Amino acid sequence: MSKYDWQDPNDPVDDEEIIYVSKSELKRDSQEMQQLADDILALSPVNLAKLPLDDELDKAIQVAVKIRNKPAAFRRQINFIGKLLRHRDAEPIQMAMAKVKNQHLLVNQHFHQLETLRDRIIEQGDTAINEAVSAYPQLERSKLRQLARQAKKEQQKEQSPKSARQIFQYLKESIPQED
């Protein structure tokens, strides 16, 4: 086919569809990766180790950590990390970041669940203890009964809630947090 041959514009070229990306969409993607780079550099070393980073990206992040006290160089390094992220599949890194950010929320939620269970055990006694033991077979019924009786007595005498704290500790040690 020569350059003078007519081709129907509705016919796909080589069965490939050309996807056009606007300049503003490219800019939004670039800014999103820059923000991801900022978020990554804000992590502690322990949480940073949880991210699925390749060697090149890991080295760039280590350089940025070293030059953090030089603002211009640090900003350039963040821009470089953003560029590296744009040329990679950033979704696994974003998923890991979300998990790291929500980790403290999960811990708080777990503690609230344990506190609620402890309060029910103290208030309802054997009924709540039986439900807890059936839900979590690793719990010892006799230990919970003894601590619940002591906690109830402490409440009635308006003493410090030593046994209630012991129940919470026992529940925290026995019931694992779900990921």
- pLDDT computed for residue 16 by the predictor: 66
d(CA 126, CA 112): 21
β-partners of residue 13 are: 16
Please list, in sequence order, all residues whose beta carbon lies within 8 angstroms of the beta carbon of residue 128, skipping any fewer than 6 positions away: 117, 120, 121
Does residue 121 contact residue 128 with C-beta atoms inside 8 Å? yes
Is the pTM of the predicted complex or chain greater than 0.75?
no
Boundaries of every domain in the chain: 26-88, 97-174
* CA 25 vs CA 18, 28, 81, 135, 142: distances in Å: 16, 5, 19, 50, 63
- pLDDT computed for residue 59 by the predictor: 93
Q: Which fold has domain 97-174?
A: Diphtheria Toxin Repressor; domain 2 (1.10.60)
Other beta carbons within 10 Å of 33: 22
Q: What is the DSSP string of 133-155?
A: HHH-TTS-HHHHHHHHHHHHHHH
- pLDDT computed for residue 13 by the predictor: 55
Phi (first) and psi of residue 16, to 5 degrees: -110, 140
β-partners of residue 16 are: 13
**Tens-of-pLDDT digits for all 179 residues of the chain?**
555 555 555 555 555 677 787 888 888 888 888 888 888 888 888 888 888 888 999 899 999 989 989 999 999 998 999 899 888 888 888 888 888 878 778 788 888 988 999 999 889 888 998 898 888 889 888 998 999 899 888 888 888 888 889 988 888 888 887 65
Strands (E), 20-179: none
